[in-house]
Structure formats: structure tokens, C-alpha cells
Copies of this chain bind each other. A is one copy, B any other.
Amino acid sequence: MRPSREIQLASRPLGMPDPADFALVEVSVPEPTDGEVLIRNAYISVDPYMRGRMNDAKSYVPPFVLGEVMTGGAVGRVVASRNERFEEGAWVVHNLGWRELALSDGMGLPFDATAAPVSTGLGVLGMPGLTAYVGLLDVGRVEAGETLYVSGAAGAVGSAVGQIAKLKGCRVIGSAGSAEKVAWLKEIGFDEAFDYHDLPVREALGEGIDVYFDNVGGPTLEAALAALRLRGRIVACGAISQYNATEPPAAPQNLFLIVTKRLRMEGFIISDHFDRMPAFLAEVAPWVRDGSVRYRETVVDGIENAPDAFIGLLAGENTGKMLVRVGPDDA
């Protein structure tokens, strides 16, 4: 048995989560038995979709269980293995969540730490990057010469969306919630970037857009509907503006534009598309290595600070991928 700490769901929040909704618990983790692997996590991931799992509602992923660990993306190193797929010292991206030590049944993807920092396995080269890639290419079907607008553009998904779209020949507009984020978007090549607090979205979109990659929902979606050109597409990825809503959410009153402008709005969940991971890594990993696709991380130290990191993410305090470092990350 080895001592470890984990974060459990203590209560279900109404609206924005509170630190008291989480509990830091000391546990003992057994040594692996046949087929199992013991992983010491370096980083755990906090992601917007996890807010939905805190509610007791049926959805595409089951809700978190009260008194149990907050599961989700994490990357760590194998410290003991009884599974021939994983050698001691190997790096693994897995879904066992907010804990220092994770006893795995062998699920998880190996991560090549000689090629990129292991933290990218949770960000630009992990689920958020794949979300950007699949959303743009398979759902939005962007084409060179089109204009793309992405909201939540300074987040892990949004910043990858904008840069991949640029590399595919699009004109790219992004919105974010602070001047600092907007400055970074311009630095990494967005053609236009604006702070949605300063400028109405519809106005910022000027002559119109062909594709809207929606991470935020609400009034931003309504403005994008107004700005979409004939045969435009909405890639329905997220709605962070609504995840903490306690009132019925804002709904776009101009939805009939879908008919008159022949629009297509399509949702997707990245776990349906893991078969695209090899193609994604083959195309995007070289771009990350040569600097064509850049990324930022907002790293918080210590598993005890994971709840604050998550709450900060929901409040937009991150630029790029929000991570919590819970162990050594040196390869």
C-alpha cells in the first residue's frame, strides 16, 4: 500500500462550484496485481465539460459520484507494472482523474515524452487538440479561403482551433475575455481577436463568417447566427457561458436563420472520434514541434489546489490549457 491523496466530490453545486463541494482525502493505494499498472501522476486536467458531470443528470458521460474521486484526464509515469503493455518509467495518458497515485487496469494511451512535454498529452496533443481537429475538419469541414470565428479562443481547444484553421488557409477571428488573452491570440497568428466585454460580437464579425466554432453558447451563438453567411456551419462543441446557469439559459431567438441561410449546426463529443487520434497526431504533432502551432498552459501546483483551478477555469482565469501539477514531470 502506498499513501496518496485524491479529490472527491463532496456535494453537488448549484451554479458556480464552491471549494466546499470538493474534499481532499488521504487514501492508501494497493500495489498492482495481474494486468494492473500503478501510475504516479504528473498533471491532472481540469476541463469545462466536467462541470456537467457534477450535476446528477443523465448525459453523454455519467455524473461524478458523491464521495468518489473526480475522474478525468491525467498524465503520469508507471512506477510499478504487472501489465506487459506498460513498462516501468513509461508515460501514460489516462482518465483516472484527480489523484496523485492511480491504480490502472491497463487502459490509457502511451505518451512519447521524448517528442513533447508530457503536459501536452492533456492539451494541444491530447483531447483538447483532437477536439479542435475533428471539429474543424470533420464537423465544420472548413475550406481554405473561408472565414472562421471561434469563441473561447484563448482556451485549450480554441487556441488550437484558430491555429489549425490558419494552417488550413482560413481567415481566423477569435474572441476571449481579457486584453492579455487577446494580445496572445494576435501573437499566435489570429487575423482578428477581440475582448467580448469591449465589442459586441456581431459588430466584431463585420462582413460575416463561414464557420462558427462554438465553445460558449448563449448570446454569442445568437450573434454568430446573425453573422453567418449562406451555407455557413456551426460546430457545436461547448457552452461554457451556460454551465453554471441557475436560470433557463439564453436561447437564440434568430434560430430561423438556419432555414433562410441554409445553415448546418452540428454537435459532437470527442470520445466518439478517438479513431482520428493517429491522423491528428501525424499532422499536428510536427506543427507543435516546429512551432507552427503554439500553446500556453496555466499551471497550478498541488492536488489540494485542483478545486480552485477548476473554479478558475470556469471563470476564465486560464490562458490555454489549465493544468494541476501533482508530481514530477521530468522525463
Residues of A within 8 A of B (CB): 52, 59-60, 217, 221, 236-239, 242, 248-249, 251-253, 255-269, 272
Contacts of A255 in B (CB 8 A): 217, 221, 251-252, 255
- How many angstroms between the C-alpha atoms of A73 and B188 in the bound complex? 53
Contact of A267 among B253, B260, B269, B272 (CB under 8 A): B260
Q: A251-B252, A265-B265 are in contact. Are A259 and B238 (CB under 8 A)?
A: yes
Q: List 7 A-B contacts (CB under 8 A).
A: A59-B260, A249-B253, A257-B267, A258-B266, A258-B267, A259-B268, A266-B266
Q: Are A268 and B272 in contact (CB under 8 A)?
A: no
Contacts of A52 in B (CB 8 A): 260
Contacts of A268 in B (CB 8 A): 259, 262
Q: A251-B251, A252-B251 are in contact. Are A269 and B265 (CB under 8 A)?
A: no
Q: A251-B251, A261-B267, A266-B265 are in contact. Are A256 and B60 (CB under 8 A)?
A: no
Q: Are A253 and B251 in contact (CB under 8 A)?
A: yes
Q: A251-B251, A252-B251 are in contact. Are A239 and B259 (CB under 8 A)?
A: yes
With both chains docked as a complex, state the minimum distance between the C-beta of A246 and any C-beta of chain B, in angstroms.
Answer: 13
With both chains docked as a complex, state the minimum distance between the C-beta of A239 and any C-beta of chain B, in angstroms.
Answer: 5
Beyond A260-B267, A262-B266, A262-B267, 14 additional pairs, beta carbon < 8 A: A52-B260, A217-B255, A236-B258, A238-B259, A242-B256, A251-B251, A252-B255, A257-B267, A258-B266, A258-B267, A261-B267, A262-B268, A264-B265, A265-B265
